[in-house]
Structures are given as C-alpha cells and as structure tokens.
Amino acid sequence: MDRLKGKVALISGGARGQGAAEARLFVGEGAKVVIGDVLDEQCRKTAEEINSNFGANSVAAVHLDVTRAADWRAAVELCERQFGGLDILVNNAGIANMKGIEQTSEEEWDTIVNINQKGVWLGMKSAIPAMRRRGGGSIINISSIFGIIGSSGSAAYHGTKGAVRLLTKAAAVQYAPEKIRVNSVHPGVILTPMVDVVPRSQLQPIIEMAPMKRAAQPEEVAWCVVFLASDEASFVTGAELVVDGGYTAV
C-alpha cells in the first residue's frame, strides 16, 4: 500500500496506456503524481478519474510536449510547487511506426528521434536538479524489446529505443554518486492504444512469438515500474528490466 509514500513522481505520456496505469498504481502506493501529455483533455480526465478514486489532490495534469524544454521546466516546477519536490521521473511518452530504413522519410525519422530519444534526455536534464534538491531520486526510462533486438519494419523506433537503453546506463553511471538511480524497462507487446493501430492479424503472429503466447495488460509493466521507483530497488541502477513474456529469451 505505501511503497511510494512521501514520494512525488512525474510521468510523461500519462494521459493513457502504460503511463496512466503507472499513475494509478503510484497513487495507490502513496505517491503524489504529475502526469504530462500532449493529449490535454485526456490527461485532465485521467487525473480527475484517479483523484475521484483515491481522494482529490493526488494527481495533477500538465501540458507536456517532451520535445520542448520549456514544457519540461513547467512540469518540474508544478511538482515542486504543488507537491513539494520531485523524486521519480518516468520517461514513458513515445510513438512508433512500422517503416523500414528506406520507407522512412527524413521528417518521420526526426519526429520519432525527437520524441523517443531527445525527449528522454530532456526529461532527465530537467528533472535531475530537482532530484538533487531532494538528495536523490529514481528515473525509469521506458524503452522496448525493440531497443534490444531488431525486426524488419520499425527502423527509427529501434534506433531510438536502443539509444534510450544506453542513455540510461550513461546517466546511471554519471548520477550514482548523487543517489539518483536510472533504469530502463523493455516491454514486449502491451495492449494499449499504441498497438491498436496494428491490425490484429499482423499483431497475433508477433504475440505468438513470446513463449507465454499472449500480450500483457499495461498494469503488468506498471508494477515493474513501481518496483524500480521504490526504495525496494535501492541497489538497482543501470539495469534493463525486460517485461516481455519471454520474447527475448528465445
């Protein structure tokens, strides 16, 4: 119940999907949470829903485009002003497409790199000074199994998620002396709006490749993020936590 009691978290891409699931579990474990997203209306509704279930003033919503430094500054300021500090950052926002090397336009490449890769760096850069003021913190960067293994049709996504994996380790090494832990999470197929765009006939064979032969609910990733955010993971940094039903074990 109280695994995150007294902690304040900022979750990017928190309007829906895995980010919203993390916000619900974090609040259930006693944290105060700011969720940021470009989907302002949905973000506000998610915050309202959580506040009505857990008591008002547990979650605040903020407009956050992860590619914009000014938005990150405002989100971190909100954490400090409304909840008194920042202890946990979940760099969860991300987008995907299913295009190979030659099929990807320069504009598509830049968009994915800006959101999935630059957004994670900007988030850490913006949050770390606030964590330093608290004497430490935990950063969880959401990568993917596609940040570990390749496939034929998501070139820019693979590139960015692989970058998140090593950016995480670099940050873990740099900030260990300041008691800021940094870990990456690598989900397999998770049933969120991100995969809704893939026709079920194309998705099913991918799902079947995992030894568990199923996709996961967003909460199954979110519980792992709770662990990494909590003091239970006090000696865990620079790690990559795969949550994929065995997909990458084969």
Ligand X SMILES: NC(=O)c1ccc[n+]([C@@H]2O[C@H](COP(=O)([O-])OP(=O)(O)OC[C@H]3O[C@@H](n4cnc5c(N)ncnc54)[C@H](O)[C@@H]3O)[C@@H](O)[C@H]2O)c1
Binding site for ligand X (CB under 6 A): 12-13, 15-19, 37-39, 64-67, 92-96, 115, 142, 144, 187, 189-190, 192-195
CB burial string 179-204: b at 16+ within 10 A, e below:
ebbbbbbbbbbbbbebbeeeeeeebe
- The SS3 call for residue 216 is strand
**For residues 15 and 88, which CB has a smaller minimum distance to ligand X in the complex?**
15
Least separation in angstroms between residue 30's CB and ligand X is: 23
- Mark whether 157 is an active-site residue: yes
Q: Which is nearer to ligand X, 176 or 212 (CB)?
A: 212
- Alpha-carbon 156 to chain mean position: 18
Closest approach, Cβ 119 to ligand X, in A, equals: 6
As measured in angstroms, the least distance from the Cβ of 6 to ligand X is: 26
Which of 26, 72, 83, 157 is catalytic? The answer is 157
Q: What angle do CA 129, 73, 193 make, to 5 degrees?
A: 110
The counts of H helices and E strands in the chain are 9, 7
Which of 118, 134 has the CB closer to ligand X?
A: 118
**Closest among 241, 62, 70, 68 to 164, alpha carbons compared:** 241
| Residues belonging to the active site | 157
